[in-house]
Amino acid sequence: MAKPSFGKRVKELRAQQQLTQRELAAQVSIDVGYISKIEAEKVPPPSEKVIERLALALGADKDELMVLAGRAPKDLEPIITHDIRIPAILRRAKGLSSQDWEKIEHYIEQIQANKREQ
């Protein structure tokens, strides 16, 4: 299943919340014309700060919107730069399937649970 574009997802979430473009724009403190252009994909996705406000107003996952915008959240930078091996590991992970990522996520959860038990 292909992931939706950023603009289409914002429009879908807005419809689910039963908000007009004007109402969403007011909640996010941006121009209604900008919301229209985002949804129509006439402009690139907005800044991380605007994406955060959109996620809050739309009851959406900020990380989902950031990924659809083609951006990495700023709070990941200290995690990625914590160890020199992390960028290399992420590069090798390129092309992994959704199932592969689920296995990795499960493995990380197991490691964290084991650390808590110690």
Q: What SS3 class is residue 118?
A: coil
DSSP state letters, 16-60: HTT--HHHHHHHHTS-HHHHHHHHTTSS----HHHHHHHHHHHT-
pLDDT band at 2 (very low <50, low <70, confident <90, very high): low
- Domain 6-73: CATH class, spelled out: mainly alpha
Give CA–CA dist 112/84, Å, rounded. Answer: 21
Give CA–CA dist 20/24, Å, rounded. Answer: 6
Instruction: Convert the pLDDT of each residue in 39-75 to its tens digit.
Output: 999 999 999 999 999 999 999 999 999 999 999 888 9
Residue ranges per domain, the chain?
6-73, 83-117
- Whether the CB-CB separation of 46 and 38 falls below 8 Å is answered with yes
Q: Is the pLDDT at 1 greater than 90, yes or no?
A: no
Which is it for the CA torsion 31, 36, 37, 41, positive or negative? Answer: positive
Give CA–CA dist 73/61, Å, rounded. Answer: 12
